């Protein structure tokens, strides 16, 4: 639907070669730049098994280097210049070891980033802050069209670095890499702008799901009010459960981005917080849309139950009419079927037909009376 797993192969046009070679050392500072720098695909076939995570470093001189070694990552962090981005897969112990050995993050922050069930949160520590958001998408491998999957994405933001930690390959990471490839000035603006771009992609992933929800609700309304599909009740509860799940995942993000946009921080300038306000606005819009769909589904459920009640009332009304018309036949036939020797019309040659006509007449009179009382 809206979520596609990332391919593990590198771009064949790159031939598997590094995009930028180290420039000659000048005073201990490496400067590297090609006429057209290209960012390699993040996730190759051995991404999880790689001892050193994928990384990208934009030097202060405008150079770009990818796939840094462990020592180069250490030097980039220690320089406190440029923009370093390191993407860690928490399923690889060799990569997660960098969080403590190289970046010296707080143990509690590392624990939160490695826990796939950590709640959405923002915490500021000495020298860095950690932001945990939840990416969301429909599951394509299941038959349930309303089944969604979520993946935590943790972002460590420092003065000159951004470290992302996740398990499964998430769309925001790849989308941000492609964005940096198209707009390298984004990385030059600093790690906070990189984090904004990535989180913005995570929040924007809700919009296709909202569009799909609109189609789900429209389809349910047609099935209920046009053809009255009785199996729609199960669909109503499935879509309603989906809306509640989306609200549960989105609600804490609303509070987190309210903090990002309003709380002063040495790692977030005022100009950068303006960009996070835009994300906060998107979250509020999505939350309003989910609230609208929740009310629509409640109204749709009420409409379904009303349809069921109306159909039951119609069936009951029909049966009541049949029983009312049959009442004279039951009464008259019961009276004339008693075992008495002297019964009126017992010996009459046309007694049977007289009784039939009498019963039909009584039934007709009952129908006329019901019509007159507007009960039919």
pLDDT band at 34 (very low <50, low <70, confident <90, very high): very low
Instruction: Specify which of 1-15, 16-30, 328-342 reaches the highest per-range mean pLDDT.
Output: 328-342
pLDDT band at 336 (very low <50, low <70, confident <90, very high): confident
Which of 42, 124, 19 has the alpha carbon at shortest distance from 89? Answer: 42
Average pLDDT over residues 200-215: 87
The confidence score (pLDDT) of residue 31 equals 34
Tell me the C-alpha distance between 323 and 65, whole Å: 88
Tell me the C-alpha distance between 207 and 211, whole Å: 6
The two most distant CA atoms of the chain are separated, in Å, by 133
> And the tokens for 187?
């990385």
**Residue 182 burial by Cβ neighbours in a 10 Å radius (0-12, 13-18, 19+):** exposed
For domain 205-376, the CATH superfamily is: Magnesium transport protein CorA, transmembrane region (1.20.58.340)
Q: Which residue has the tokens 């890499």?
A: 177
The confidence score (pLDDT) of residue 48 equals 52
Average pLDDT over all residues of the chain: 78
- At 222-274, the pLDDT tens digits run 888 877 777 788 888 888 888 888 888 888 888 888 888 888 788 888 888 88
Query: What's the CATH number for 1-204?
Result: 3.30.460.20
CATH 1.20.58.340 range(s) for the chain read 205-376
Average pLDDT over residues 15-39: 36
How many C-beta atoms surround the C-beta of residue 294 within 10 A? Answer: 16
CATH 3.30.460.20 range(s) for the chain read 1-204
Tell me the C-alpha distance between 174 and 221, whole Å: 37
Instruction: Specify which of 181-185, 256-260, 328-332 reaches the highest per-range mean pLDDT.
Output: 256-260
The confidence score (pLDDT) of residue 168 equals 73
pLDDT at 1 exceeding the cut of 70: no
The confidence score (pLDDT) of residue 23 equals 36
The confidence score (pLDDT) of residue 112 equals 92
The confidence score (pLDDT) of residue 190 equals 87
pLDDT at 105 exceeding the cut of 50: yes
- At 42-70, the pLDDT tens digits run 444 344 567 788 888 988 887 888 888 99
The two beta strands, 161-166 and 83-89, are: parallel
CA distances from residue 161 to 55, 153, 349 in whole angstroms, order as listed: 10, 16, 111
**Residue 308 burial by Cβ neighbours in a 10 Å radius (0-12, 13-18, 19+):** middle
């Amino acid at each position: 639907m809206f979520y596609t797993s990332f391919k593990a192969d590198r771009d064949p046009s790159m031939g598997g070669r590094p995009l930028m070679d180290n420039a000659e050392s000048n005073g201990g500072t490496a400067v590297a730049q090609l006429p057209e720098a290209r960012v390699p695909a993040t996730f190759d076939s051995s991404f999880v098994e790689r001892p050193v995570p994928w990384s990208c470093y934009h030097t202060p001189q405008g150079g770009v280097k990818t796939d840094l070694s462990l020592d180069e990552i250490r030097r980039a962090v220690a320089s406190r210049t440029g923009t370093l981005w390191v993407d860690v897969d928490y399923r690889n112990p060799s990569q997660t070891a960098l969080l403590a050995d190289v970046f010296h993050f707080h143990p509690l922050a590392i624990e939160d980033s490695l826990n796939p069930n950590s709640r959405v949160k923002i915490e500021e520590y000495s020298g860095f802050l950690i932001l945990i958001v939840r990416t969301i998408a429909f599951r394509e491998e299941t038959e349930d069209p309303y089944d969604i999957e979520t993946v935590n994405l943790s972002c460590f933001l420092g003065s000159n670095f951004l470290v992302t930690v996740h398990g499964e390959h998430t769309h925001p990471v790849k989308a941000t890499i492609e964005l940096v490839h198209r707009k390298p000035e984004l990385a030059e603006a600093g790690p906070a702008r990189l984090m904004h771009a990535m989180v913005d992609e995570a929040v924007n992933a809700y919009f296709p799901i909202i569009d799909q929800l609109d189609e789900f609700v429209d389809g349910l309304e047609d099935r209920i009010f046009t053809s009255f599909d009785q199996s729609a009740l199960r669909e109503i509860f499935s879509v309603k459960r989906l809306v509640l799940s989306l609200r549960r995942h989105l609600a804490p993000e609303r509070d987190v981005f309210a903090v990002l946009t309003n709380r002063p921080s040495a790692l977030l300038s005022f100009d950068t917080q303006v960009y996070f306000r835009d994300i906060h606005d998107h979250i509020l819009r999505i939350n309003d849309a989910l609230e609208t769909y929740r009310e629509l589904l409640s109204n749709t459920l009420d409409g379904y139950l009303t349809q069921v009640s109306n159909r039951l009332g119609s069936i009951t009304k029909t049966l009541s009419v049949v029983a009312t018309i049959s009442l004279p036949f039951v009464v008259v036939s019961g009276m004339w079927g008693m075992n008495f020797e002297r019964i009126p019309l017992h010996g009459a040659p046309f007694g049977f037909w007289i009784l039939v006509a009498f019963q039909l007449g009584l039934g007709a009179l009952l129908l006329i009376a019901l019509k007159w009382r507007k009960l039919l």
